[in-house]
């Protein structure tokens, strides 16, 4: 059970304030608990790959992060660079504005291009919908169908940085929700996996998203989650 839960976690090292010293420490956390991967900023890929050499923890990299506004060509270039630097998993943010405008041909072209670039380089791709912005179920379903059609490996809820401003000018963030995860699981093909990201900070939340059909979960609270799992289920 412990190993199974650990291998659900992509340990995220993505906050803009994270330094190279933080990267080393967080890679050590990832190795200690033998998680699935670390998910890092593009310039950190080479260092992360070096730190994780000889371990079972993979290196992932975000693309078009966090807003998804880069052109398709830039996302493809960024993907190739990350893969050459040592990333074997790519988490890309879609062009949210295009999705909200219903420009599905563009979205399909974008996801297809990055998926092909990943697979050409022996990497997998996780497609971030940013569900705090793309809120209509019919749009999420369409994205699942597109990801299935082009052969993406994962659909993913959020970047972790999709903050929404309320009427008082304050920012809030929801991230992964069980209804969204169930919807994404239901409308993605059987070969497409689901990743939860955003707001998963406890063991119970990890177990809940697993029950909803998730194979992976992005987390920064990895140590707390895994220590809780060890205490509950035994080492």
Residue numbers annotated as active site: 91, 156, 195
Buried (b) or exposed (e) across 61-74, using 16+ Cβ within 10 A? bbbbbbebebebee
Cβ-count burial of 108 within 10 angstroms (0-12 exposed, 13-18 middle, 19+ buried)?
Answer: middle
For residues 128 and 141, the answer to whether their CB atoms sit within 8 Å is no
User: How far, in Å, CA of 41 to CA of 38, rounded?
Assistant: 10
Tokens of 143: 């994205």
């Amino acid at each position: 059970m412990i190993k199974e839960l650990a291998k659900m976690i992509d340990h995220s090292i993505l906050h803009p304030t994270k330094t190279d010293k933080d990267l080393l420490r967080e890679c050590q956390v990832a190795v200690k608990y033998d998680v699935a991967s670390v998910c890092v900023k593009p310039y950190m890929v080479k260092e992360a790959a070096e730190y994780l050499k000889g371990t079972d923890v993979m290196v992932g990299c975000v693309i078009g992060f966090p807003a998804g506004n880069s052109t398709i060509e830039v996302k493809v270039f960024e993907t190739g660079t990350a893969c050459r630097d040592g990333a074997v998993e790519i988490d890309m943010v879609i062009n949210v504005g295009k999705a909200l405008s219903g420009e599905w041909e563009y979205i399909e072209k974008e996801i297809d291009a990055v998926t092909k670039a990943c697979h050409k380089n022996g990497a997998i791709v996780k497609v971030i919908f940013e569900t705090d912005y793309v809120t209509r179920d019919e749009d999420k379903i369409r994205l699942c169908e597109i990801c299935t059609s082009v052969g993406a490996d994962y659909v993913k809820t959020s970047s972790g940085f999709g903050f929404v401003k309320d009427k008082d000018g304050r920012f809030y963030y929801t991230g992964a929700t069980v209804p969204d995860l169930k919807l994404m699981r239901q409308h993605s093909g059987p070969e497409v996996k689901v990743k939860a990201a955003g707001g998963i900070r406890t063991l119970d939340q990890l177990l809940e998203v697993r029950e909803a059909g998730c194979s992976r979960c992005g987390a920064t609270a990895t140590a707390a989650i895994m220590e809780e799992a060890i205490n509950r289920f035994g080492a």
